[in-house]
Structure 1
Amino acid sequence: MLVLFGGLAACVPTTPEPKPARPDLSTCTSNATHDLVGTPVSLVNTSQLAATVRILPPNGVATMDYNPARLNIETDANGTITRVTCG
């Protein structure tokens, strides 16, 4: 009798697991990435953070144009993230 129930359980359709939502890269997500502060920038996959990511080392040169979709990641001399902002 137990074998019969075990066999029937295999016939029950299962629902597929939902796929993880793709991040919206059209807007900056500095609030969501604030927890990156203190992380080595080399360990961060920047392609999933924003459409445009700019990594700024100390004393680095950057343009002054404002891009609301751009994520700015500032690092210290060791490559550790010190600040994350939009623009």
Structure 2
Amino acid sequence: MKHAVLAALAALAVTACSSGGSGMGPSGPALPPPDMDGDMDGDIAAPDTSPCGATQMGYLVGQQVGEVDLDSLSGNIRLIYPDTAITEDYRPSRLNLDLAESGVILRPWCG
């Protein structure tokens, strides 16, 4: 009798711990996360949280500003060379490009 009770408790414990079903979620198999940027190569780009798009302009760092097609970049763009006086007004939609003396882009930022 004691063995039958232990066997029943063990069976109950095993069924309580099982996931119940075929390993599928409540509505079927789990789906992969959606592709946020729409391309089909499997890379998911982080959404751009900067109002001027600066987080997506990292590819410009290290390039000569003269070799970049600034007209292809949308919006208001300000080139900032060293020791250049700039206004202090903050415009979230303006893309600022910090440049080295040589014209190499050092940092894109909004403001």
Structure having the higher Rg: 2
| Aligned-partner Cα distance in 1 for 2:61–2:104 | 8
| Aligned-partner Cα distance in 1 for 2:91–2:74 | 11
Higher relative contact order (CA 8 A, sep 6+): 1
Partner of 2:94: 70
Structure 1 residue 80 displacement after superposition = 0.3
Partner of 1:42: 66
Find the residue that maps to 1:47 and give its secondary structure: helix
Structure 1 residue 61 displacement after superposition = 0.8
**Structure 1 runs, 4 residues or longer, greater than 3 Å off:** none
Find the residue that maps to 2:66 and give its secondary structure: helix
TM-score normalized with structure 1 length: 0.66
Structure 1 residue 47 displacement after superposition = 2.1
Partner of 1:21: none
| Number of equivalenced pairs | 61
| Aligned-partner Cα distance in 1 for 2:71–2:96 | 13
Unaligned runs of 5+ in 1: 1-26
**Does residue 1:30 correspond to 2:49, yes or no?**
no
Unaligned runs of 5+ in 2: 1-50
RMSD: 1.0
Q: Deviations over 1:16-42 (max 9, x none)?
A: xxxxxxxxxxx4110111111100000
More strand by share: 1
Partner of 2:33: none
**Does residue 1:61 correspond to 2:62, yes or no?**
no
